[in-house]
């Protein structure tokens, strides 16, 4: 398995533009997580899905952020409109099992810069 | 107060030294994870623990559930061990998989 695949690796965009981040989880994993990492706040959960259903989106900063998981092999995180304070590294991770203890696999991250 | 606290925040060591990074947490957990992140790099899962001790190469992770404490040890440290080490816990209740992260320990091993 190629692991969790995120794209793009780097994104530079202007304030106000729409940004879409993509994630392909490991085949067979049924939990998918979107995290944001900044110097100030470290890693924070944005949203996670179990069996393609959003379970907890309380970490999504505001209505400008939205996430979808149309099927078990693909998820998107969209920011519209983007702002400079959204600049961060966004990680996607997947895991097998809801209540059971399975390991997590992280993608390489998308480094977003909003200018 | 953060639910997961790591110490130290920063650590500089000489090559060959024995290194310990500590993690304390305040919630009941079902598992604790140690993660490694190299500068500009992705996050790699090193260990997942729910009790006792695990060893992988020069890395050893221990957990004391009663004391809500875990340690990550690196024996015979090497400059390639330089990275940020992150402790993360999965709460025992109210969570279907989400991790709560510590702020990380930045380790620098000098040759």
Place of tokens 């040890």: B73
Instruction: In whole angstroms, give the CA distance from residue A70 to residue A86.
Output: 24
Q: Is A108 on the interface with B (CB under 8 A)?
A: yes
Per-residue pLDDT of chain B (111 residues; tens, 9 = 90+): 679 999 999 999 999 999 999 999 998 888 899 999 988 778 988 999 989 999 999 999 999 999 999 999 999 999 999 999 999 998 876 655 678 899 999 999 999
Q: Do B42 and A56 touch (CB under 8 A)?
A: no
Instruction: In whole angstroms, give the CA distance from residue A104 to residue A108.
Output: 13
Q: Do A99 and B96 touch (CB under 8 A)?
A: yes
Q: Is A99 on the interface with B (CB under 8 A)?
A: yes
Instruction: In whole angstroms, give the CA distance from residue B23 to residue B35.
Output: 12
């Amino acid at each position: 398995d190629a692991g969790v695949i995120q794209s793009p690796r780097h994104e530079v965009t202007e304030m106000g533009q729409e940004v879409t981040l993509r994630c392909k989880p490991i085949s067979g994993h049924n939990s998918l997580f979107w995290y944001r990492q900044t110097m100030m706040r470290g890693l924070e959960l944005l949203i996670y899905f179990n069996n393609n259903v959003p379970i907890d989106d309380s970490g999504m900063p505001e209505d400008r952020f939205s996430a979808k998981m149309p099927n078990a092999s693909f998820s998107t995180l969209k920011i519209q409109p983007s702002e400079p304070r959204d600049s961060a590294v966004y990680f996607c991770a997947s895991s097998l099992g809801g209540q059971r203890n399975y390991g997590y696999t992280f993608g390489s991250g998308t480094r977003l810069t909003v200018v | 107060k953060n639910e997961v606290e790591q110490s130290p925040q920063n650590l500089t060591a000489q090559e060959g030294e024995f290194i310990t990074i500590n993690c304390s947490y305040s919630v009941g957990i079902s598992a604790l994870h140690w993660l490694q992140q190299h500068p500009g790099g992705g996050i790699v899962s090193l260990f997942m623990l729910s009790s006792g001790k695990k060893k992988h190469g020069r890395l050893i992770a221990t957990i004391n559930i009663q004391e809500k404490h875990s340690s990550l040890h690196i024996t015979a440290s090497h400059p390639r061990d330089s990275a940020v080490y992150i402790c993360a816990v999965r709460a025992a209740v109210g969570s279907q998989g989400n991790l709560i992260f510590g702020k990380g320990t930045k380790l620098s091993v000098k040759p």
